[in-house]
Structure 1
Amino acid sequence: MAANPKTTLYVGGLEENVTEQVVHAAFIPFGDVKDISMPLDQATQKHRGFAFITYFEKEDAAAAMDNMHNGELYGRVLTVNFAQPQKIKGGEQGWASQAVWADADTWFERQQQEEEMKRLNAEHLATVSAAEEAERKKLKEVREGETEADDAVEDPMAAAEAEALKAS
């Protein structure tokens, strides 16, 4: 069912005795019908109560939907809407209306972007670590310089007291 979703209708609420010929006869007044699909129940081999009708023209599909929605067929009220694309397993969210491999290019691009981000983060961390190490060395040198300067120049109060003791 790879048809244009605007030309394919979902028809729900079909009575058990409805056949493809009956559906065709009910929907042909609105335009040329390209295809009718009535999925079967595997256990009972009867249709599951709905059908998909594909028209050649989207205007015909719109007219059929407008006229047949909430209409009656074999005593049952029909639900007629544009069909949604068939969901297939795969894709990035687990279910998609596209093939599993359809998002392969974006997946590869995303993987490359993630690797590039990891590389940039590693470079950033290395730069930060180098800057922190340089800062630590600088502080260490400044502190060592302060202790040497303290040893070279005595405390002025202590020097004054020592001179006062010598004078007395």
Structure 2
Amino acid sequence: MKLHERIDGRLRAFIEAQHLFFVATAPLSADGHVNVSPKGLDTFRVLGEHAVAYLDLTGSGSETVAHLRENGRVTIMFCAFEGPPNIVRLHGSGRYVALEDAEFDSYRTLFTHHPGARGVVVVEVERVSDSCGYAVPLMSHDGDRDLLTRWSENRGDDGLAAYRATKNAASIDGLPALG
């Protein structure tokens, strides 16, 4: 493993070339559930040497939102599934900017339109590392799934708001999330 002072040009190029990333968070409670969420659909942006953001899309859970609102701890991981092996981890302090927050619009223009957008996760990166990834399998990217996009379009803005109010109001541990 190698520690880096910042997200430099090489790391940025690697991160931006990945089609998939993983977000890990946890509540403060020792009895709470650690969460790892896979993300894709071109929703990740490097904002600077110590800052990143990703567009959060409506989904079945709201663990990341709840954990960030409780304690802000977050790790984002990228794995090379093609080309030379590599794993990059970004550890930091994250915050959630909801769709209805005034600040949301300043981030929205960084991303392509996704009808299911519910917020943006903004992370101040405190630790950057990469490691070998020798055991990560080689896999090819055949394309993005369009299921979430179609599901969101079919629900419409009002349907998505209702879904988030009922399904994303709290984490599985009962922490407040959306709604």
Pick the TM interval, shorter chain.
under 0.3
Which protein shows a greater Rg? 1
Higher strand share: 2
Using the size of structure 2 for normalisation, the TM-score is: 0.24
Using the size of structure 1 for normalisation, the TM-score is: 0.25
Higher relative contact order (CA 8 A, sep 6+): 2
Higher helix share: 1
